[in-house]
Amino acid sequence: MILSIINHKGGVGKTMTTHNLGAALAQMKKRVLMVDFDPQCNLTQHCGVDSTAPMTTISDYLNDDDMEYLPIEVNKYLHLIPSADGLDADSMNMAAMDDPVEAATLLRTILGRVGEQYDYILVDGAPGSGMLMLNALYAADEIIIPMSDKDSMLGVAKIGKLIQANHLHPRAHYLITRHDTRLTLCNELRDHLVAECPELTYHTIIRNTEALRQAACNGQDVFTYAPKSNGAADYKSLAKEVAGKRSGKLS
């Protein structure tokens, strides 16, 4: 299953979710591949990888059909395809291709070659609505849209228009992230999603915790950095929910 974690708006916890959901699923002994599809390379850095070091990146796979598959092994069950600064140029090259469908399905083609090796592939999508976002949408069986406050809904509307314009049909779920019950905008988002689209919203709410921020700064997932923290508990809960939805068990 390919899950693209996306939002048109930045700063909502896409990378945090990709990294820690991947780690949580790996703890459940699921074979997981994380793909850093953002030229900012944040996921690569959160995994403790030096994004300037020589390595095979997603940009290499986009530009060479015969590139040997060499993911970074984060641990036995968790692999990473890192990003690179060159992904910005790749996006512009995609936009200039004669065949728009081929341009939008490059990522799907790459992941199709290795998909049988994994139970889950998690794509950390770039913000915006360009070719990188479009590739993440075309590749996805399901999209997870992290939202941290009611302003995040603006990004959701733009994703919806992009999906409709390209006649795509991925399953979609909303994930409340960086939640702080003291903040009005956070509570407004929670109340809106629970009232308007409960069947599309994960029951798990990711609380705003220092452990999640510090884990990322230290190049670790939250289970390694602070296994007893609220952040670890929340992403463990999310992983069980994601796996349950796939198996048909919603509890």
Can you tell me the mean pLDDT for 151-170?
A: 83
Average pLDDT, the chain: 91
What whole-number distance in Å separates Cα of residue 204 and Cα of residue 245? 13
What whole-number distance in Å separates Cα of residue 91 and Cα of residue 168? 20
Catalogue all structural domains in the chain, each as residue range(s) with its CATH number: 2-247 (3.40.50.300)
Which of these ranges, 53-67, 102-116, 177-191, 213-227, has the smallest mean pLDDT?
Answer: 177-191
Q: From the CB of residue 206, how many other CB atoms can be counted at a distance below 10 Å?
A: 25
The answer to whether 51 and 83 are in contact (CB under 8 A) is: yes
User: What backbone torsions phi and psi does residue 158 show, to the nearest 5 degrees?
Assistant: -70, -35
What whole-number distance in Å separates Cα of residue 96 and Cα of residue 90? 10
Q: From the CB of residue 66, how many other CB atoms can be counted at a distance below 10 Å?
A: 4
Q: Which of 174, 102, 168 lies closest to 140, judged by CA?
A: 168
Task: Render pLDDT for 121-140 as a digit per residue (tens, 0 to 9).
Answer: 999 999 887 899 999 999 99
pLDDT at residue 246, as a whole number: 59
- Give Cα 238 distance to the centre of its chain: 13
Q: Could you tell me the two tokens for 27?
A: 């703890």
pLDDT at residue 167, as a whole number: 87
CB within 8 A of 20, min separation 6: which ones? 212, 215, 221, 222, 223, 231, 235
Q: Which residue has the higher pLDDT, 239 or 53?
A: 239
Q: How far is residue 162 from each of residues 8, 129, 132, 137, 243, measured CA to CA in Å? A: 10, 8, 12, 9, 27
Percent of the chain at pLDDT exceeding 70: 98
Residue 50 has pLDDT above 50, yes or no: yes
CB within 8 A of 218, min separation 6: which ones? 48, 225
Euclidean distance between the first and the last CA atom of the chain, given in angstroms as a whole number: 20
Residue 245 has pLDDT above 80, yes or no: no
Confidence tier at 251 by pLDDT (50, 70, 90): very low
Q: Where are the alpha helices (DSSP H) in 56-183?
A: 58-63, 87-95, 100-104, 106-114, 131-139, 153-165
